[in-house]
A and B are shown apart, each in its own frame.
Chain A
Amino acid sequence: MNQEIPHVVIAGAGHAGGSAAAFLRQLEWPGSITLIGEEPIPPYQRPPLSKAWLKGEATAESLALRPAGFYPGAAIDLRLETRVTGLERANKTVVLSDGTAVPYDVLILATGARPRRLPISGTGLAGVLELRWAADADRLAAALRPGARLAVIGGGYIGLEVAASARALGVDVTIIECESRVLARVACPILSDFFQAFHRGQGVVIETAARVVGLEGTAGSVTGVRLGDGRLIACDAVLVGVGAMANDELARAAGLSCDNGIVVDLMAQTDDPAIFAIGDCTSRPLPLYARRGRLESVPNAIEQARQAACLICGKPPPAPEVPWFWSDQYDLRLQIAGLPFDATEIALRGDVGTAKFALFHLTGDGTVQAVEAVNASTEFMGGRKIILGRKRLTRARIEDMSVSMKELAA
């Protein structure tokens, strides 16, 4: 490494990349920083794109991770509308979409994930949308006119959050889910049933176990979603929200280990000590659960950005965190702590009927693996502490509301 002016290059200027640049400066990284992003705007928060942004309740300024003036002020060379297209590890150089070669001492891959696309006909029709970037959200917002009909393919978080925002805007919404319930991959059946009923109560039509065979259109614009049973869901726009795939091609081509994401350790380091990877593009250790996996979440992006920045700056590693997620829909706040691996029992604390409850997922020996909390932030926060402490609890004690969360977490 050039000890005079070591250079960190960050490939990707999403939440992970933007946070890494900021953490490096907080930790007094003495060298230069180049932050390379494909989008035309500086790093911003994606979670509001499906919520406040669609409803016109957010501004570009409120979305931004930091004010535009922060980057020059912190000597971060922010290059927008630019992609890293090549990685030459042997001479520690990345090649950019404009043809420039940029040498690095340390490289941070923060290339994110991209929406999975459906292998069906009609996805190129106008009005067929996905949601990842701010520009996608602008296209979606333009389609959400009062009285318009939106078909949402995929009943995951993106689909449900957009459905809630669309209803608030007076849009007719049909959710088409191929599994037997919404949130099938990410939540337990009790939670799925609750959200399904709540959305239906808000006027959303939900088709479960529904296979999409094609998108149909007139004059180049989408007019309907054809289902496997022959029915046509007529619509003016389609949002496809069927998961995301790690952008790990650059790492793969450079010979770094990848397994549904770029393989990293607990300091976000890849198998090349000069290269880190952070955020949605990584497959990371999940030490609480003795396995690895990909976490698509803002907290994960920030945690890994901090891990990488600490190691790069020679600081002690940050304390381990419990993975967590949140989703706001209507006036519901869902907060999830942990991951329900190996759980065999569910304890329900509170009353589903009051829309204020928490589901604790326990293994056979009573270890709490995950807590799904709806409008129950005390249970969520207490749950994080319980999970981190590997505390064991009985279902009966969790469900006993005369026992406070303080006592449960003690």
Chain B
Amino acid sequence: MLAFQGGDRRAFEALFARYTPRVLTFLTRMVRDRARAEELTQDVFVRIYNAADRYEARARFSTYVFGIAHNLALNELARAHRKHEQARPDLSALGAIDPAPGAEEQLDAERTRGRLERAIAELPERQRAAVLLRSEQGLDYEEIATALETSISSVKSLLHRARETLLAALGKEDA
């Protein structure tokens, strides 16, 4: 990012290539609408591009990126809620399920994944964001706290509640 601030467009292209799948994955699971998540991902990078001269490297770049993505996701969910258009969980957008015919273990794995994705989609927004940033994107507690603009103890609480719900969802259907 600092190289891009210095005028190196290729540095921005490298960031774009590296972070696009991560941001798009995060936003797709946050807003549960693939097409809208693509637009929001574009918005994230437009904001980064336009604000490059004001960027200060106070934290890891991933924290900066996911902080923007999280805010846009919350705005989108609030907008959809206001319009009574709460996005329907579009679980087909979360990855194609293509089990190999006859492979029972793989089918079980796909079922488990489907249950997990449904349970993630039903989590409260901030719990969903915290657990995705931790387990999918690999941010540590401090980075999640920065991205979500909250405290580390709040992150611990969000993660704990989210995991309780997810474990219960998986355990319930296993039973």
Q: Do these two chains really belong together in a complex?
A: no
Q: Residues on A close to B: CB < 8 A?
A: none
Q: Residues on B close to A: CB < 8 A?
A: none
